Amino acid sequence: MNQSQINEILKLNEAFYKKASVSFSNTRQNYWKGWGRAVDVLSFNGHSTINVLDAGCGNGRFLGFLKERLPKLKIKYTGVDISEELLTEARTKYPDGDFIKDGLLEKLPEGQFDLVVCFGVTHHIPGTELRTKFFTELSATVANYGYLIITFWNFDTSKAVKKLEEKGDYLLSWDNKTELQRFCHFYDAEEKKDFVGLISKNGLTLIDTFCGDGKNADSNDYFIFRKN
């Protein structure tokens, strides 16, 4: 995949989240069940405050989840997303969060975080080279003894509007509207294994993995890492 193709895909996805922000956010009001299982694996003993990076935060609902799930901890939260519309909603709901409009594939916030999460994002990254760069840079944002949680979406490829040239690449519609399309990449088992290995080479240890969310609890594969 060349740079021109990558740029077109990134523009397509940004336009999608601008056009579909309201209807998309309406489907993203509840917490994912997998979040509870993932957070149960974490231990923040000795912490009164944790720094959290939510890469691809959308409307900020993960901050709401953390406040309910970890009420004894002060959450210093940074959420990053490309959609100004979703960020506007997040700032209204969670005025104590720091919400930044930025392209995650171009630049991640500086600093180290006790918890880094990346939910519903990895399928939007075009090209192996860019995916490698993203996972490498995301790993670098995790503080010593901190955690990284990432998910891979197991979408139904048979419902794609179009199969693209590269393996695993598709265009998906939204809300039965073919004019609303976004790029999604389907990670097969071998590719997930490769990126787990890449993250591990960057100083993080895989401590748990499971499948969850959706009607049949099989929508997302979760991978939880700790930095030693």
| Confidence at residue 34, expressed as pLDDT on a 0 to 100 scale | 97
Mean pLDDT by 10 residues, the chain (228 residues): 92 91 86 96 95 96 97 97 94 96 86 96 96 96 97 96 96 90 97 96 97 95 96
Q: Among 3.30.420.40, 3.40.50.2000, 3.40.640.10, 3.40.50.150, name the CATH number for the domain at 3-227.
A: 3.40.50.150
| Confidence at residue 179, expressed as pLDDT on a 0 to 100 scale | 86
| Confidence at residue 228, expressed as pLDDT on a 0 to 100 scale | 85
| Confidence at residue 122, expressed as pLDDT on a 0 to 100 scale | 97
| Confidence at residue 124, expressed as pLDDT on a 0 to 100 scale | 96
Q: Which two tokens stand for residue 39?
A: 């957070």
Amino acid 114 reads: D
- Burial of 228 by CB count in 10 Å (0-12 exposed, 13-18 middle, 19+ buried)? exposed
| Confidence at residue 41, expressed as pLDDT on a 0 to 100 scale | 96
| Confidence at residue 68, expressed as pLDDT on a 0 to 100 scale | 96
Q: The whole model's pTM is what?
A: 0.95
- Beta strands 142-153 and 113-118 are parallel
| Confidence at residue 152, expressed as pLDDT on a 0 to 100 scale | 98
Of the candidates 181, 118, 180, which has an alpha carbon nearest to the alpha carbon of residue 150? Answer: 118
